[in-house]
Amino acid sequence: MSSLLIDNIGELVTNVAGTGEGGKLGIRRDAAILVEEDRVAWLGPARYAPAAARRIDADGAAVLPGFVDSHAHLVFAGDRAAEFAARMAGQPYTGGGIRTTVAATRAASDDTLRGTVRRLRAEALRQGTTTIEVKSGYGLNVADEARSLRIATEVTGETTFLGAHVVPTEYADRPDDYVGLVCGPMLHAAAPYAKWIDVFCERGAFDADHARAILTCGQAAGLGVRLHANQLGPGPGVQLAVELGAASADHCTHLDDADVDALAGSATVATLLPGAEFSTRSPYPDARRLLDARVTVALATDCNPGSSYTSSMPFCVALAVREMGMTPAEAVWAATAGGARALRRDDVGVLAPGARADLMILDAPSHLHLAYRPGVPLIRQVLHNGVPR
Ligand code: NIG
Ligand code: FE
C-alpha cells in the first residue's frame, strides 16, 4: 500500500469541531497527517507520526482540506469579455447574455467543450479546489444538454442538470412547452449523467410554478435538488428550495426575514457566490445576517463566462471576508466544509481518518493569509485523491 506522510505542519485545519483551536476549524499545531492510497489514515502530533514510504516536509506551513466549489458552470464556449467591459462602463447585468453563450456552445465541437472544461478544472485544482460541481445549462436542447453533462462527468461526479437556465430563443413565446421538454425528453437524456437538478428561479428566467414542476420531475428521476435563488432581486426561490428540501439555495443575495428564517429552520445550505457580485458590480449578499441566524453558509465561485469568470476559491474567500462580514475562519470553513454540506458529502471538506486525502499546503503559516494576502498565489501544493499534483 502506498503511504505518504506530511509532517512539520505548523497549522492543520481539520474542520473537526472541538478537536483543537479555532472552533469549527478544529486547528491542530505541530501536526502530521498520514495518507494511504486516497484516504487520510491518521493525523496527530508530529512527534507521534508513523513511518511512511514517502514524506513531504510542510516546513511549518498551514495545511487545509481542499476547497469544495459547489457551484460552477464550466461547460461553455466563447467568452463575454465585451459584456463585462460594458458593465464596468455602467450597463446592468440581466442574465440576457446567457443566450449568447448558448449559441456558441451549441456550435462548438465536443473537443472544444472538453478542452475548456479540462482547462478550467486544472486551473481550479492549482488554486486548491479538489471537489467541484459542474452544471450544464448552455445547451438548452436535448442533445446539447446531454452532451454537456457527459463531458462534465469526465472531470467530476458532482454534475447538475440545468436545462432550466433560461428559455431558449426558439421557445421564447411558448415557455410552457419548454418546461414540458425539460421535464420530459431532456431530463430523460440528461439524468444518466447527472446527480443534481437546478433551475434559475428569477424574474426573466423561471417562476416558482415552473421551477417547482421541473425540480419535482428531477426528484422523481432520482436527482437531488439545488436552486439559483434570489440572485437579481427578491423572489420565491429560497422558499421553494426549503419547501423541496434542496441541498442548497445558491446566490441568496436578496433575502427578506422570512427567507432567512426558512433557511435557518432547514437543512438547506445558503451558497454565496461573491464572484458574481464582483463581476456584475452588484451589492454583496449579507453573510453576517445568515450566520447570525445560524444558517449553514457555503462559498463557491459560480465560474461561468457571464457573471463570474473566476475559478479561484481563494479570491472568493477574500471577498467574503472583506465585503460580506465573514471572519477568515468562517469563510475558510464555508469554502471547504460548507461546500461539502451543500453537496451532502461528509468525505470531503474535512481532514479526519477515513476522509478523502484531498488537501492543500499553503505558502503561508495560517489559513488567515488566504484573506490577508488577496490575489497572491498561496497554494504551494495540492493532494487530490492522495496524489500530489
Ligand atoms: O449563476 N444566474 C444564472 N446563471 C449564472 C450566470 C450565467 C451567465 O450569465 O452566463 C449565474 O450567475
Ligand atoms: Fe450559477
- Who's near 153: CB < 8 A, 6+ residues apart? 159, 193
Position 348 scores a pLDDT of: 98
253 Cβ inside 6 Å of ligand 1:
no
Q: Tell which residue, 367, 357, 314, has the closest CA to residue 67.
A: 314
Confidence class for position 338, pLDDT limits 50, 70, 90: very high
Residue nearest to atom 6 of ligand 1 (CA): 307
Residues 129 and 250 reside in one and the same domain: yes
Give the residue among 104, 183, 176, 191 at the shortest CA–CA distance from 139: 104
Q: What is the pTM of this model?
A: 0.98
Q: Which atom of ligand 1 is nearest to the CA of 251?
A: 1
Question: What mean pLDDT is predicted for residues 54-61?
Answer: 98
Domain that holds residue 29: 3-66+349-388
Cα separation, 226 vs 155, in Å, equals: 20
Q: What percent of the chain has pLDDT over 90?
A: 97
Mean pLDDT of 188-209: 98
**If you take atom 9 of ligand 1, which residue's CA is the nearest one?**
306
- Pair (58, 203) in one structural domain: no
Q: How many domains does the chain have?
A: 2
Do residues 172 and 110 share a domain? yes
270 phi and psi, to 5 degrees? -95, 110
Q: From CA 385, how far away is CA 365, in angstroms rounded?
A: 24
pLDDT tens figures, 145-184: 999 999 999 999 999 999 999 999 999 999 999 999 999 9
CA of 146 to the centre of ligand 2 (A): 18
CB 276 near ligand 1, within 6 Å: yes
Same domain, 311 and 337: yes
Residues 77 and 207 in one domain: yes
Are 78 and 216 part of one and the same domain? yes
CA-angle at 327, arms to 267 and 273, nearest 5°: 55
**Cβ of residue 307 lying under 6 Å from some atom of ligand 1:** yes
Give the domain CATH number at 368: 2.30.40.10
Q: Say yes or no: 264 and 356 in one domain.
A: no
Nearest C-alpha to atom 3 of ligand 1 is from which residue?
200
Sign of CA dihedral 345, 347, 351, 357: negative
* Same domain, yes or no: 230 and 174: yes
Sign of CA dihedral 191, 345, 315, 153: negative
Mean pLDDT of 190-208: 98
Confidence of residue 243 (pLDDT cuts 50, 70, 90): very high
Whether residues 50 and 94 fall in one domain: no
97 lines ligand 1 (CB under 6 A): yes
Residue 229 beta carbon below 6 angstroms from any ligand 1 atom? no
Decide whether any atom of ligand 1 lies within 6 Å of the 101 Cβ.
Answer: yes
Termini Cα distance of the chain: 19
| CATH code (residue 165) | 3.20.20.140
- How remote is the CA of residue 47 from the centroid of ligand 2, in Å? 45
Which of 75, 200, 232, 279 best tests ligand 1's pocket when mutated (most atoms within 8 Å of CB)? 200
Question: Rounded CA gap, 286 and 320, in Å?
Answer: 9
Tell whether 166 and 258 lie within a shared domain: yes
The pLDDT value given to residue 5? 98
Which atom from ligand 1 is nearest to the alpha carbon of 250?
Answer: 1
Q: Are residues 358 and 233 in the same domain?
A: no
User: Is pLDDT above 90 for 18?
Assistant: no
Whether the pLDDT of residue 96 is over 90: the answer is no
Residue corresponding to grid cell 447538475: 160
Residues 36 and 90 in one domain: no
> What confidence tens digit (pLDDT) does each residue in 97-107 have?
999 999 999 99
pLDDT reading at 1 higher than 80: no
